[in-house]
């Protein structure tokens, strides 16, 4: 990757790492007391459709309970005290948050050394995650254009696309030319077209860290679905939370590896 692309990437990456942090997703925690009757609290959690409640002891949230674990007794009988792995800072980036949520369904947020908020996997449908996904995919497209331009001549990459796909790119170039927004033909190909070129270029498959053509094809298929869903607010951003996390972190991995190589 050339130095100009690296600088552009770094500016955009810094922008979303600084501004897209976990506090944008976090919600206040509903709480109960250690001496509350557990079945009453369980019914309250069912009514609110909450799986996790914070537990207060002497006015401070010191742990939590899970709805599925509550039976007859007192809250203190089912209380879990916070561990270090349960907690993250409110300034944690969304990328770091996703790494936490790979192994768990919820995480508690520290604000000035006090726990008062929570993030669950259900929060991954919120707008900040759509913004993160869109930012990463935009950065990926920026990277792909740079890599294709460096690896292939125009005649080389053009033959990897069907006549129909190439025709659509030429049509887009013509429209942009009429608006004085021409750029180049390569700048006018779609994300799926970039994936096709990569998949048909062994050097780029290896450079992007894919084990096989099949893995490469699957990756681009998944990010097209993700990109399309981020553009439609009424759609779920992705049908499976774990797949969503894996796809976003995989895009991040590809971007990071090439910035390091470029340096």
Q: Are 30 and 50 in contact (CB under 8 A)?
A: yes
Q: Which residues pair with 117 in a beta bridge?
A: 28, 109
Residue 263 predicted with pLDDT over 60: no
Q: Which two tokens stand for residue 108?
A: 């508690």
Average pLDDT for 77-99: 94
Q: Cα separation of 19 and 13, whole Å?
A: 10
Q: Are 169 and 194 in contact (CB under 8 A)?
A: no
If pLDDT is split at 50, 70 and 90, which confidence band does 262 have? Answer: very low
CB count within 10 Å of CB 248 equals 23
Q: Are 116 and 61 in contact (CB under 8 A)?
A: yes
Cα four-point dihedral sign 9, 12, 17, 18: positive
Residue 179 pLDDT? 78
18-49, pLDDT tens digit by residue?
Answer: 778 999 999 999 999 999 999 999 999 999 99
Tokens 């207060």 sit at which residue?
56
Question: Residue 151: which residues within 8 A CB-CB, separation 6 or more?
Answer: 201, 203, 204, 207
164-184, pLDDT tens digit by residue?
Answer: 999 999 999 988 887 777 688
Residue 98 pLDDT? 94
Question: Residue 171: which residues within 8 A CB-CB, separation 6 or more?
Answer: none
At 106, give phi and psi (nearest 5°).
-160, 155
Minimal CA–CA distance to 249: which of 217, 222, 212?
222
């Amino acid at each position: 990757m050339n130095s100009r692309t690296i600088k552009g990437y770094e500016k955009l990456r810094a922008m979303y790492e600084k501004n897209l942090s976990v506090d944008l997703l976090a919600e206040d925690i509903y709480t109960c007391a250690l001496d509350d009757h557990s079945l009453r609290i369980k019914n309250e959690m069912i009514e609110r459709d909450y799986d996790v409640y914070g537990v207060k002891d002497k006015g401070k949230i010191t742990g939590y309970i899970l709805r599925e674990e509550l039976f007859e007794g007192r809250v203190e009988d089912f209380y879990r005290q916070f561990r270090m792995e349960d907690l993250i800072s409110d300034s944690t980036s969304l990328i770091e948050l996703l790494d936490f949520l790979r192994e768990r369904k919820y995480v508690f947020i520290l604000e000035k050394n006090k726990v008062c908020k929570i993030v669950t996997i259900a929060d991954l449908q919120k707008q900040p995650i759509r913004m993160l996904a869109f930012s990463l995919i935009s950065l990926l497209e920026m990277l792909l254009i740079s890599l294709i331009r460096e690896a292939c001549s125009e005649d080389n990459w053009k033959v990897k696309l069907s006549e129909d796909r190439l025709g659509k790119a030429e049509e887009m170039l013509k429209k942009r030319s009429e608006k004085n927004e021409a750029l180049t033909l390569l700048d006018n190909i779609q994300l799926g077209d970039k994936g096709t070129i990569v998949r048909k270029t062994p050097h780029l498959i290896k450079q992007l860290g894919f084990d096989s053509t099949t893995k490469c094809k699957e990756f681009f298929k998944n990010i097209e679905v993700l990109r399309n869903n981020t553009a439609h607010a009424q759609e779920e951003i992705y049908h499976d939370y774990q797949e969503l996390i894996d796809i976003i972190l995989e895009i991040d991995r590809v971007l990071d590896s090439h910035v390091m190589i470029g340096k």
